[in-house]
């Protein structure tokens, strides 16, 4: 479940420690933009130590490494795999070749540190025109890629247009990224909302992203987590409909039926998957427990 | 490991520790911490354990602790020692 993915600067110990209690679905420890050039080594040591020593519970631990074109990237990858990272976020992905290079380096690092090959997942951060136009090939470049994420700030700079709260300048990029992610069956993760003090604006932005098909949103402030979770929580009507689909499927399975219908309409696999996702979101938002699903109100 | 020059790592922010290391012919560790009375021994144990692992027997080490966790102390000391043993530019 990746509704909210919170960036944490990799060189700030107090903020890293707070990750143990923040209600984010994923924590992205950043070794890239938020760390000054002279402190890359320090941030790497700090994040690696925290990954080994602290208990982040069920939160997915992600590290944004430095750009593959820098001398830091390979050292970042090796140190993070050694420390047991779940997922690497790759910045400024331009095309499939970037992903294939990272995947090859990861295989080397996994072998060197006794981790199963392929066990480290990737999120590709698309933040250039090249990256957006190549979204589909990036999504399919490796089985490690479990999500495409949009970097709206750098993208706007690359497009040479001002970044606005309305976000029309990144509308095409959002839609293109969602389409590629959905076609590949992976997560579509929206760009962060950058006005830290505008909670309503953040919820509106997240609702808009959800409406386009995004499955979650990057986030630069813990104060935005509540707004994002509210935006990605399904409505009661959606929950009821999804529960009905899942119950019908369960009853059909019990009765040994190959195909199941609900109110005269066939239920096919995409409908069931969508219903299961809605129920998972409802559970994550505290709106549903398994007992409620077992109880048929009819 | 051998220290070749003076180097630093960390900050004086809450939850962090500022570490300075420099070459010397003896081992001397100075610790300043608002929780020195309660945790001074534990902090020094963490430092000695890391120095043993790295095989460092001499050097001047000054630690200005701001309530850092063990993993932060280890990370900052590791960074400072690596920087001090690097033949490249001063950190």
Task: Catalogue all structural domains in chain A, each as residue range(s) with its CATH number.
Answer: 4-232 (3.20.20.60), 236-294 (no CATH)
Q: How confident is the model at residue A248 (pLDDT cuts 50, 70, 90)?
A: confident
SS3 content of chain B, % helix, strand, coil (to 5): 40, 25, 35
Report which DSSP code applies to B20.
E
pLDDT digits (tens, 9 = 90+) for A258-286: 778 888 888 888 888 889 989 999 998 88
Whether the predicted interface score ipTM is above 0.85 = yes
**Token digits of residue A236:** 């009661």
Lookup result for tokens 């490249």: B88
Name the residue facing A14 among B9, B10, B14 (closest C-beta).
B14
pLDDT of residue B87: 58
Task: Catalogue all structural domains in chain B, each as residue range(s) with its CATH number.
Answer: 7-85 (3.30.230.10)
As a whole number, mean pLDDT of residues A207-213 equals 96
Question: Where would I find the beta strands (DSSP E) of chain A?
Answer: 4-9, 26-30, 60-64, 87-90, 121-126, 145-150, 187-190, 216-219, 260-262, 265-267
Name the residue facing A45 among B13, B14, B78 (closest C-beta).
B78
| A12 chain-B contacts, CB cut-off 8 A | 13
Q: Is B87 on the interface with A (CB under 8 A)?
A: no
pLDDT digits (tens, 9 = 90+) for A175-194: 999 999 999 999 999 999 99
**Token digits of residue A290:** 């398994």
Identify which of A26, A7, A23, A12 has the alpha carbon closest to the alpha carbon of residue A216: A26
CA dihedral A158, A163, A168, A171 (to 10 degrees): 50
pLDDT of residue A293: 64
Q: How many contacts, defined by CB atoms under 8 Å, are there between A and B? A: 46
Q: How confident is the model at residue A43 (pLDDT cuts 50, 70, 90)?
A: very high
CA distance A228 to A60: 17
**Token digits of residue A151:** 């970097």
**Token digits of residue A203:** 């919820």
| A52 chain-B contacts, CB cut-off 8 A | 71
pLDDT of residue A239: 92
Q: Is B72 on the interface with A (CB under 8 A)?
A: yes
Question: Where would I find the beta strands (DSSP E) of chain B?
Answer: 7-9, 17-22, 27-32, 59-65
Name the residue facing B13 among A14, A41, A42 (closest C-beta).
A14
pLDDT digits (tens, 9 = 90+) for B2-38: 899 999 999 999 999 999 999 999 999 999 999 999 9
Identify which of A220, A217, A174 has the alpha carbon closest to the alpha carbon of residue A194: A220
pLDDT of residue A271: 86
pLDDT of residue B90: 44
As a whole number, mean pLDDT of residues A95-124 equals 96
Report which DSSP code applies to B51.
H
- The reply to whether residue B15 touches residue A14, judged by beta carbons under 8 angstroms, is yes
Q: How confident is the model at residue B89 (pLDDT cuts 50, 70, 90)?
A: very low
- The reply to whether residue B74 touches residue A49, judged by beta carbons under 8 angstroms, is yes
For A138, counting Cβ atoms within 10 Å of its Cβ (0-12 exposed, 13-18 middle, 19+ buried), the class is: buried
């Amino acid at each position: 479940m990746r509704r909210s993915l919170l960036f944490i600067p990799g060189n700030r110990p107090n903020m890293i420690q707070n990750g143990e209690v923040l209600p984010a679905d994923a924590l992205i420890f950043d070794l890239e933009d938020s760390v000054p050039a002279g402190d890359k080594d320090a941030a790497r040591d700090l994040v690696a130590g925290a990954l080994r020593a602290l208990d982040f519970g069920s939160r997915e631990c992600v590290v944004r490494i430095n750009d593959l074109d820098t001398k830091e990237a390979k050292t970042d990858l090796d140190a993070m795999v050694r420390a047991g990272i779940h997922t690497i976020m790759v910045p400024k992905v331009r095309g499939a070749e970037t992903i294939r290079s990272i995947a090859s380096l990861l295989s080397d690092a996994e072998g060197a540190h006794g981790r199963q090959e392929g066990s480290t997942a990737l999120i590709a951060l698309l933040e250039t025109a090249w990256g957006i136009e190549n979204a589909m090939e990036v999504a399919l470049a490796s089985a490690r890629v479990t999500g495409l994420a949009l970097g709206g700030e750098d993208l706007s700079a690359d497009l040479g247009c001002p970044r606005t709260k309305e976000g029309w300048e990144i509308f095409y990029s959002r839609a293109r990224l969602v389409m590629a992610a959905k076609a590949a069956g992976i997560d579509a993760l929206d760009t962060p909302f950058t006005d830290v003090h505008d909670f309503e604006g953040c919820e509106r932005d997240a609702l808009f992203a959800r409406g386009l098909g995004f499955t979650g949103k990057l986030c630069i402030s813990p104060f935005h987590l509540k707004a994002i979770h509210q935006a990605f929580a399904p409505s009661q009507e959606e929950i009821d409909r999804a529960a009905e689909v899942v119950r019908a499927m369960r009853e059909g399975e019990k009765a040994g039926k190959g195909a199941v219908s609900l109110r005269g309409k066939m239920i096919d696999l995409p409908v069931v998957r969508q219903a299961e996702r809605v129920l998972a979101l409802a559970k994550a938002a505290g709106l549903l427990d398994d007992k409620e699903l077992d109880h048929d109100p009819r | 490991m051998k220290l070749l020059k003076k180097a630093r790592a960390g900050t004086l922010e809450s939850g962090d520790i500022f570490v300075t290391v420099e070459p010397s012919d003896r081992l001397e560790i100075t610790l300043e911490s608002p929780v020195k009375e309660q945790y001074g021994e534990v902090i020094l144990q963490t430092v000695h354990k890391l120095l043993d692992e790295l095989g460092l027997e001499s050097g001047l080490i000054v630690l200005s602790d701001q309530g850092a966790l063990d993993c932060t102390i280890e990370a900052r000391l590791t960074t400072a020692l690596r920087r001090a043993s690097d033949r490249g530019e001063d950190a």
